[in-house]
Amino acid sequence: MRAAGVYLDSPFSDFSEIKAAIKRTGADPKIALGIYKIARTYASNEEEWKEISPIHLIKSANIHYPELYLSCGLYDKYGNYEGTEALANIANLKGVKTNWHPLYGGHCAIDISSLADFLIVN
């Protein structure tokens, strides 16, 4: 199962914040700006964004939240690594059982063995 990318910044952030996020994460600017544009078609404002943003949703989680499997390539051109790592850290702080697998590689990097183990157990 694949989930949407995870970003710390909202697509409704100021353009200067979005540019800083692109630089900070090493995302490809064309891809990242396209992602922000697409995200704005799914949420019409900041409040709607918070209703679907994994970073905001995990903040209300507790130990009864379903177990998470998270992975991301360190060199993800979509800029997902930063947000996915933050999601894993917040989930752990909330007591959510989290399997975080940072990977060497790009956007489609995957550790098939750990994912298979997670799916078999869960």
Q: Are 25 and 79 in contact (CB under 8 A)?
A: yes
Task: List, for residues 3-29, the tens digit of each pLDDT value.
Answer: 557 999 999 999 999 999 999 999 999
Centroid of chain to Cα 17: 17
Task: Kindly tell me if the per-residue pLDDT of 99 is higher than 50.
Answer: yes
Residue 77: CA atoms inside 13 Å, Cβ hemisphere, count? 8
Q: Report the pLDDT value the prediction gives residue 112, as an integer from 0 to 100.
A: 93
Q: Taking the model in full, what pTM does it have?
A: 0.91
CA distances from 61 to 17, 43, 68, 92, 95 (A): 27, 22, 12, 10, 8
Model confidence over 37-96: pLDDT tens digits? 999 998 999 999 999 999 999 999 999 999 999 999 999 999 999 999 999 999 999 999
Residue 121: pLDDT over 90: no
Q: What pLDDT digit, counting tens, does each position of 28-47 carry?
A: 999 999 999 999 998 999 99
Any bridge partners for residue 22, and if so which? none
